[in-house]
Amino acid sequence: MHDKIVLITGGSRGIGAAIAELAAAQGYAVCFSYKSNRAAADAVVARITQAGGQALAVAADVAVEADILRLFATCEQEFGVPTALVNNAGILEQQMRVEQMDVTRMQRIFATNIIGSFVCAREAVRRMSTRHGGKGGAIVNISSIAAKGGGPGEYVDYAASKGAIDTLTIGLAKEVALEGIRVNAVRPGVVYTEIHASGGEPGRVDRVKVNVPMQRGGQPEEIAEAVLWLLSDKASYVTGTFIDVTGGR
Ligand code: NAP
């Protein structure tokens, strides 16, 4: 059995992949989900395995409750009960104003970003909480600095979903503080990943980096460092709070 087991949603690409690789390098057995990009998921598993780590990729859509239940069950069968959860999977869609958004888009964003994180958190608490006989654990939610800025003209729906993640972090942290579980969030700024192409602007980071005090975009590995610290025992007195990894924005 493994001492440290992390379940990461959306680990096949971008920030989630960087978290998976750093976690494996720090001795975690890594179980991560992806939605559909099997080739990318297999490549992350191969990199971790070649480096001497352990990883398992599970196709599971966080917007589908049955998929999340299967993800947790698979992780338990393969490695054991997770000691850490990273709610990383998140989506945004084509940049537009609120008056242009249809309800199906809003439902997709909120189902994936909000309900997906809530259900994963619920499943983690059911297994980790000392109230339910668990051994405790740590949860890190990947929010966004957009929760503060609001995403005007681009994706207020996405930004609002991250606002909900911030409130989930605060409320759940207090709810389980006496049950061995710490809950924190990382709010990335603009990071070089493929998510920006989903909004219709693959080069967005380079456009907006002039507004970043450090005048550059972030790398996924820089987000992963904050996540792994929050998951670690070094953050033993840290709960219900946020690390903004934004280059000063
Ligand atoms: P990304 O490069 O687009 O990667 C998204 C990952 O999530 C992929 O592994 C994808 O799987 C997976 N995914 C998407 N929808 C999913 C679903 N319904 N169920 C399960 N997995 C799903 O995104 P990223 O930029 O790394 O973003 C990761 C997190 O950081 C998100 O929560 C995002 O909001 C947040 N964030 C990003 C930035 C930024 O500038 N990049 C800034 C602030 C916050 P497939 O490979 O199968 O598609």
pLDDT per residue over 208-246, tens digit each?
Answer: 999 999 999 999 999 999 999 999 999 999 999 999 999
Gap between the Cα atoms of 20 and 38, Å rounded: 15
Token pair 């099997």: residue? 38
**Burial environment of residue 144 by CB neighbours within 10 A (0 to 12, 13 to 18, 19 or more):** buried
> CA torsion 70→30→9→36, rounded to 10°?
-70
63: Cβ contacts below 8 Å, ≥ 6 apart: 108, 111, 112, 115, 116
pLDDT tens digits, one per residue of 2-16: 899 999 999 999 999
Question: Measuring from atom 3 of ligand 1, which residue has the nearest CA?
Answer: 195
- Whether the predicted pLDDT of 165 surpasses 80: yes
pTM attached to this predicted model: 0.98
pLDDT band at 103 (very low <50, low <70, confident <90, very high): very high
* pLDDT for the residue 56: 98
Mean pLDDT of 80-86: 98
From the candidates 34, 158, 192, 237, give the one annotated as an active-site residue: 158
Closest ligand 1 atom number to CA of residue 14:
26
For ligand 1, the distance from its centroid to the CA atom of residue 17, given in whole angstroms, is 9
Closest ligand 1 atom number to CA of residue 89:
7
For ligand 1, the distance from its centroid to the CA atom of residue 172, given in whole angstroms, is 22
pLDDT tens digits, one per residue of 125-141: 999 999 999 999 999 99
CATH topology of domain 5-245: Rossmann fold (3.40.50)
> Around Cβ 200, how many Cβ atoms within 10 Å?
13
| Active site annotation includes 158 | yes
Asked if residues 87 and 141 have their Cβ atoms less than 8 Å apart, the reply is: yes
Residues with C-beta less than 6 Å from any ligand 1 atom: 9-16, 33-37, 40, 61-63, 88-91, 112, 142, 144, 188, 190-191, 193-195
* pLDDT for the residue 222: 98
- Whether the predicted pLDDT of 1 surpasses 80: no
Mean pLDDT of 18-31: 98
Question: Measuring from atom 7 of ligand 1, which residue has the nearest CA?
Answer: 10
